[in-house]
A and B are shown apart, each in its own frame.
Chain A
Amino acid sequence: DAKTTQPPSMDCAEGRAANLPCNHSTISGNEYVYWYRQIHSQGPQYIIHGLKNNETNEMASLIITEDRKSSTLILPHATLRDTAVYYCIVRTNTGGFKTIFGAGTRLFVKA
């Protein structure tokens, strides 16, 4: 499985864009990049995923570099409710159905 590296914590001002980076330099050609977040005392919540192209949905945008070795999750207008741990995961298809969580980034959105 490709490993991911994320900063342990980040701050963001309410209303500003939050840009969360993730490095996955050993990603394979058929592996997708997923992002989940976990708000305190809740289960993780799927945000977005992508393979090569940039993706956008109602929650966020995902920018993947051309070499696919890194990506950035963008929350365009962060709110206090976006304070959470954000996990960048590379999803493997070998050996079954493993989604393995790394340490993640703790995002603090401040008023």
Chain B
Amino acid sequence: DTEVTQTPKHLVMGMTNKKSLKCEQHMGHRAMYWYKQKAKKPPELMFVYSYEKLSINESVPSRFSPECPNSSLLNLHLHALQPEDSALYLCASSRRGRGLTNEKLFFGSGTQLSVL
């Protein structure tokens, strides 16, 4: 199984709503990532979890709250988003190992989020 599964595929939410994005992998990977991608732009790194601990937060607003309940699961909790947060949210995972530089990322297909 070399898949990263993201749900839902599409999400429409209002600015006062609370929603969550889910990401799952069963490859035994110990690093998981959230990226945000606006139309016709490259993916932008948001968060990195390594061994279930948050290791990188790229100065993401607090209305985005990541969670890594276990090594296979990554969530992104959304609250009070703005219309400009509408984007494709991508999850990725990698094997992880200390000192490694040759790690490839496996990406899910993303959640297309629209904030009204």
A102 at the interface (CB under 8 A from B): yes
Q: Which of B100-114 contact A (CB under 8 A)?
A: 100-110
A104 to B56, CA, bound (A): 24
Q: Given A96-B50, A96-B55, A97-B31, A43 and B101 touching (CB < 8 A)?
A: no
Partner of A44, one of B43, B45, B96: B43
Of the candidates B90, B101, B108, B109, which one forms a contact with A91 in the assembled complex, judged by CB atoms under 8 Å apart? B101
**Whole-angstrom CA separation of A100 from B50 in the bound complex:** 17
Q: Is B99's beta carbon under 8 Å from chain A?
A: yes
Q: With A and B bound together, what is the CA distance between A79 and B105 in angstroms?
A: 24
A selection of 8 A-B contacts at a CB cut-off of 8 Å is A43-B92, A91-B101, A93-B100, A97-B55, A97-B56, A98-B48, A100-B45, A101-B44
